[in-house]
């Protein structure tokens, strides 16, 4: 299994903070945002290689992290035209080498993620996709990611990108595990009528509609998705101490 970390966007809503650097290199609690995903991916024993997709200010990330992180090789792929998450996944297709992959977003931080248990569920249940989710009391936060309609046992029936209203207290994250076969559904994903991009929940929904088994997994109780400068400043003030899984080694 590989890890695929998407860190290609500028993040214009970060205002001047992202004018001359990639959004994912903006610091949260003294550490670049993307480093939380790198730490998580490199801490998972079954991850053999990290594919890091970069775009805006790509050389800054490449020069900062080099070819390995905590003993795991990093392979870079440059996305020249940024058209959303599904396009980014498609761009990285040659580097996945036909393997299953664990998706991370470079601007998401998940505290104390249950990654090994999530992979156990993926293989034990023979799932096609496992979506990392968490309980969220604030419906406005769910509107920023995606909602899930599922059975009591966690079988996902429908995903709703940025819903107008939350249907329950389950919030989806970008931490998902995929069979490599998910890539075959990319041509079937419709373009969003406003953003003119292919959305991650719609990619997963295509697999569900084709009879593939998709499950949810409660990955953590604490989640951060940094979209704006105001959110970053608020998180710096109010969020609990963010632990580091282990010592960082770069090459």
Per-residue pLDDT tens for 85-131?
Answer: 999 999 999 999 999 999 999 989 898 899 999 999 999 999 999 99
Q: Would strands 214-218 and 129-135 be described as parallel, antiparallel, or unpaired? A: parallel
In this structure, is residue 115 part of a structural domain?
Answer: yes
**Position 140 pLDDT exceeds 70:** yes
Token couple for 21: 């650097």
In this structure, is residue 247 part of a structural domain?
Answer: no
Size of the chain in residues: 251
In this structure, is residue 243 part of a structural domain?
Answer: no
User: Distance from CA of residue 92 to its chain's centroid?
Assistant: 14
In this structure, is residue 251 part of a structural domain?
Answer: no
Identify the domain containing residue 40 by its residue range.
Answer: 2-238
In this structure, is residue 142 part of a structural domain?
Answer: yes
Percent of the chain with pLDDT over 70: 85
**Position 21 pLDDT exceeds 70:** no
In this structure, is residue 244 part of a structural domain?
Answer: no
In this structure, is residue 129 part of a structural domain?
Answer: yes
Q: Indicate the average pLDDT of the chain.
A: 88
Instruction: Give the mean pLDDT of 23-41.
Output: 89
The total number of structural domains in the chain stands at 1
Nearest of 222, 17, 223, 31 to residue 108 by alpha carbon: 223
Q: What is the pLDDT of residue 19?
A: 56
| CATH number, position 233 | 3.90.550.10
């Amino acid at each position: 299994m590989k890890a695929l970390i998407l860190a290609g966007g500028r993040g214009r809503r970060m205002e001047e903070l992202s004018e001359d650097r990639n959004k994912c290199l903006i610091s949260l609690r003294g550490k670049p945002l993307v480093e939380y995903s790198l730490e998580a991916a490199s801490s998972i024993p079954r991850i053999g290689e990290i594919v890091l997709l970069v775009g805006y200010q790509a050389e800054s990330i490449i020069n900062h992290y080099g070819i390995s992180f905590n003993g795991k090789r990093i392979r870079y792929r440059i996305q020249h035209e940024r058209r959303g998450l599904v396009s980014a996944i498609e761009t990285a297709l040659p580097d996945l080498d036909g393997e299953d992959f664990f998706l991370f977003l470079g601007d998401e931080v998940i505290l104390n993620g249950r990654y090994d248990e999530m992979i156990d569920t993926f293989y034990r249940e023979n799932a096609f996709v496992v979506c990392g989710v968490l309980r969220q009391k604030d419906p406005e936060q769910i509107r920023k990611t995606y909602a899930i309609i599922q059975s009591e046992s966690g079988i996902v029936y429908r995903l709703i990108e940025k819903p107008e209203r939350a249907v329950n207290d389950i919030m989806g994250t970008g931490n998902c595990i995929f069979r490599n076969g998910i890539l075959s559904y990319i041509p079937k994903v419709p373009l969003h009528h406003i953003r003119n991009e292919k959305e991650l929940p719609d990619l997963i929904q295509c697999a569900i509609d084709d009879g593939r088994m998709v499950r949810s997994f409660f990955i953590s109780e604490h989640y951060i998705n940094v979209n704006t400068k105001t959110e970053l400043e608020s998180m710096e003030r109010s969020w609990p101490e963010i632990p580091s899984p282990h010592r960082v080694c770069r090459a």
